[in-house]
Amino acid sequence: MKFLDRAKIYVQSGAGGNGCMSFRREKFIEFGGPNGGDGGAGGHVWAEAVDNLNTLIDYRYQQHFRAKNGRPGEGSNCTGAGGDDLVIKVPVGTQIFEEDEDTLIADLDEPNERVLLAKGGNGGFGNARFKSSTNQAPRRANPGQPGEQRTIWLRLKLIADIGLVGLPNAGKSTFLAAISAAKPKIADYPFTTLHPNLGVVRVGDGQSFVLADIPGLIEGAHEGAGIGDRFLGHVERCAALLHLVDGTAEDVAADYMTVRRELTAYGGELAGKKEILALNKIDALGEEEIKEKKSALEKTANKSVFAVSGVSGAGVPALVGKIFRLAAETRTEDTVQTEDEDAGWSP
């Protein structure tokens, strides 16, 4: 399934049915009077967040959505049937904007959460509604109200516990594939990852957390360089960031600062999120080189650094344990697991 995180759609609610103008005409019943029924209400258009979707690709091929109209009223005081509501199903984490792409209508970040996008028109009154002591044979009925039309934008921000960031070829996809069942594209050239990938990492006793891998950032990404910072929105909701640095790079400290500058330029409070820093690809380094580059990173970032290899699995259990504990801090206390260094995870 292709990944799409932005879509423009057009919605229209149903129009209300017209009221009926009718009079009772039966044998032996004189002056039966008005008996025209009201029209039915038009259907509403709703957006609902569902668990089993993670892309907006469906809305690339269908952009127009219209709810059913209400049926007109009938004689014998019969009210017309109301139009069926239309429910547009979107992934959890979808934001809905007005046509200007700036005015937020709703942020559906919980399963089964709903928002009304367009209200159906009311049905018109039949002539029975206008009967009075001074007007016992009204010859008027109201038309139904038209439905609402709106142009809206859907923007998906994936729901994940931890966001995986770094330069292109930092080994993010390899790391994600090593600790989860996700199967991202892996190759030895930059920008292998062209869209975000989600992986569920399972640890001991049935516990798990969700890791989001986004395309690599390069210097000037906030100005559109490379793939740009378009996909950074997918880690805005994350509790923390896992920053992988390519251990085979000549200047690991400079690589780290490049990504940090892009996070700061993007905004969205990304630069202020908790961060776990890891030196990746240590399987390609000697012991002295690992110590040297790890020390350089710790000095620049002013925090401890994990040394790992997504290929060999070296240092990965300890890192996964740290990630899990950090993710668990944002959840309810009954889901927090034991604080073993490896958190029960094994390759």
> Does 197 count as an annotated binding residue?
no
Q: Which CATH number fits domain 1-156: 2.70.210.12, 2.60.40.60, 3.30.2350.10, 1.10.238.10?
A: 2.70.210.12
d(CA 338, CA 267): 34
CATH-assigned architecture of domain 162-335: 3-Layer(aba) Sandwich (3.40)
Token pair belonging to 150: 């709106």
What angle separates helix 252-266 from helix 287-301, to the nearest 10 degrees? 30
Q: Where in the chain is the domain with CATH 2.70.210.12?
A: 1-156
> Does 159 count as an annotated binding residue?
no
> Does 192 count as an annotated binding residue?
yes
Q: What is the per-residue pLDDT for 88?
A: 94
> Does 184 count as an annotated binding residue?
no
Q: Nearest-5° angle of CA 146, CA 152, CA 157?
A: 145
**pTM higher than the cut 0.85:** no
> Does 72 count as an annotated binding residue?
no
Residue ranges of the chain with pLDDT lower than 50? Answer: 1, 189, 332-339
> Does 173 count as an annotated binding residue?
yes
**Measuring CA to CA, which residue among 156, 143, 148, 141 is closest to residue 196?**
156
- Do residues 124 and 18 make contact, with C-beta atoms less than 8 angstroms apart? yes
d(CA 295, CA 293): 5
> Does 82 count as an annotated binding residue?
no
Helix H or strand E segment including 250 = none
Q: What is the per-residue pLDDT for 329?
A: 74
> Does 248 count as an annotated binding residue?
no
Q: What is the per-residue pLDDT for 186?
A: 54
> Does 84 count as an annotated binding residue?
no
> Does 169 count as an annotated binding residue?
yes
> Does 310 count as an annotated binding residue?
yes
Token pair belonging to 92: 């959890």
> Does 195 count as an annotated binding residue?
yes
> Does 37 count as an annotated binding residue?
no
Q: What is the per-residue pLDDT for 209?
A: 76
Q: Which tens digits make up the pLDDT trace of 2-43? A: 567 789 999 999 999 999 999 998 888 888 889 999 999 999
Token pair belonging to 250: 């000549």
Q: What is the per-residue pLDDT for 218?
A: 63
> Does 309 count as an annotated binding residue?
yes
Q: State the pairing for strand pair 274-280/240-246.
A: parallel
- Do residues 247 and 285 make contact, with C-beta atoms less than 8 angstroms apart? yes
CA 65 to chain centroid, in Å, comes to 20
Helical spans, DSSP H, in the chain? 58-61, 172-179, 252-266, 287-301, 316-328
Q: Where in the chain is the domain with CATH 3.40.50.300?
A: 162-335
d(CA 32, CA 155): 58
